[in-house]
Amino acid sequence: MAIEYAREAAPSPVEVAGLFRRSGIRRPVDDLDRIGRMIANANLIVCARSAGRLIGIARALTDFSYCCYLSDLAVDREFQRRGIGRELIRRVREAAGPECTLLLLAAPEAREYYPRVGFEPIPNGWTRHREH
């Protein structure tokens, strides 16, 4: 089955939450209002669809000049290990532009994946965790 990739302004919170559930990514999938805000406030979203069904998403925030933060990369478990995540990342990089550094935070179980798709670990990052 063909996979179609496209930038999308606003996939629905219901379908994004469903994809997050099917992918295994830890996100507030029972809080559709929060998922909706996550979508609305991202300025670069690339989706992968199979027969119209959302099977992958890359959600990012960027200035298209210097920095791009890849906040979510999720692929439906049924479609993993087919290069969909790699292609979503490629399309985010392409859209953000060659002047942008692409940054992300990885869940422990995903740390093995990112070096295989061209990311390098960095020692000079910090975080302040959310309250909720």
Of residues 131 and 4, more confidence is placed in 4
Residue 3: CB atoms within 10 A of its CB come to: 15
Asked if the structure places residue 46 within a domain, the reply is yes
Is the pLDDT at 127 greater than 90? The verdict is no
Is the pLDDT at 132 greater than 80? The verdict is no
- Per-residue pLDDT of 38-64, as tens digits, reads 999 999 999 999 999 999 999 999 999
**Nearest-10 Cα torsion for 44, 49, 53, 56:** -60
Asked if the structure places residue 20 within a domain, the reply is yes
Asked if the structure places residue 108 within a domain, the reply is yes
The boundaries of the domain holding residue 74 are 3-116
Number of domains in the chain: 1
Is the pLDDT at 108 greater than 90? The verdict is no
Residue 18: CB atoms within 10 A of its CB come to: 15
Q: Which residues contact 63 (CB under 8 A, 6 or more apart)?
A: 100
Mean pLDDT of the chain: 94
CATH of the domain at 27: 3.40.630.30
Asked if the structure places residue 128 within a domain, the reply is no
